[in-house]
Structure 1
Amino acid sequence: MEQLLATFHSLNGELNKIHKEACSEISVQQSTIMHEIQSRNEPSMQETARGLGMDITTFSRQVQTLVNGGYVKRKPYPGDRRIQILSLTDKGSKKVQQVDADILKQMKEALASMGEFEQEIIVQSLRQLHRILGKNSG
């Protein structure tokens, strides 16, 4: 189990490095927020923060920075003006596409020394791990 823990921390660090290298002008945390907004259909502030497991105060500060940077729009929910709905601006959508493309490029380069079968095994194993962890966290 110690090897599993060491692998977890090491892999997490390497993946964070890849994500950080793909981000320019925004932080990894902001990139993650923008990706979450993009993956949902006009989510509320609370819904998005909950989906990311983030404290609402920290989340609100990060969203405000993204709004100020022109990446995210906030608008009040028509039925309850206390609820803020989030969406990406064109600039935000382009930034998410750029970050995703950079991450994909780095991941392809990292896996290039492996055969197609080995790459598929890794991808399938990571999908299965994600499904299992998703069930356990909900």
Structure 2
Amino acid sequence: MDSVREQLQIFVRRFGLLNATCCEACCGEDVSLVQSHILFEIRRMGEPSMQQVAEELGIDVTTFSRQVKAMEGDGLVTRRPSERDRRVSLLGLTDEGRRVLVRIDRYMAEKIGQIFSVMTPFEREVTTRSLALFNEALAKVGEAASDGKNIACCN
């Protein structure tokens, strides 16, 4: 198991997941790694509630709320009360938020393309399938966890 942990640690570093200013460094956008995940999830989920996105990302609501407030100030997201329950805030992307996300998407597609370019078609398929299997296993173990959160000890 130590080699699996070692491989995961190396992957996280090489993929740049520890870089606090990832988007600024990669595609010139002034958003943090967490903010790029928030933008991605808002797009993926449609018009989610703040609670839904916070839960999906495993971020406590107070921290998440601060992030959203900053992103609102930067003109990246909108927040509006739900028509069904005025206590619930729904999130949306602004045109600027969509533009930033498109730049991040392009950058990531280019980088993943570079990584896959040194692999055979079989290796690309195995890698993609293995990542899917690993994510499914993480989800199952996470659901079974008492706190329902991430698997890693250092969340």
TM-score when normalising by structure 1: 0.92
2:125 corresponds to: 120
2:50 counterpart of 1:42: no
- What is the CA deviation profile of residues 59-93 of structure 1, one whole-angstrom value per residue up to 9, with x for unaligned ones? 01111111111110000111222110001111111
SS of the equivalent of 1:74 reads strand
2:97 corresponds to: 92
Cα distance, 1:54 vs. partner? 0.3
2:138 counterpart of 1:133: yes
1:28 corresponds to: 33
**CA distance in 2 between partners of 1:17 and 1:83 (Å):** 32
- 2:59 partner letter: M
Cα distance, 1:2 vs. partner? 1.0
Q: Which has the higher helix share?
A: 1
Consecutive unaligned residues in structure 1, runs of 5 or more: none
**CA distance in 2 between partners of 1:74 and 1:14 (Å):** 35
Q: CA RMSD in A?
A: 1.7
**1:106-117 matched pairs, under 5 angstroms:** 106-117=111-122
TM-score when normalising by structure 2: 0.83
- 2:99 partner letter: K
Q: Which of 93-102 and 11-20 deviates more?
A: 11-20
2:85 counterpart of 1:80: yes
SS of the equivalent of 2:86 reads strand
* Higher RCO structure (Cα 8 Å, ≥6 apart): 1
Q: Percent identity?
A: 33
1:69 corresponds to: 74
**CA distance in 2 between partners of 1:22 and 1:48 (Å):** 24
2:152 corresponds to: none
- What is the total number of aligned residue pairs between the two structures? 138
2:9 counterpart of 1:4: no
- 1:114 partner letter: M
**CA distance in 1 between partners of 2:123 and 2:82 (Å):** 47
2:58 corresponds to: 53
**Structure 1 residue runs of 4+, over 4 Å off?**
none
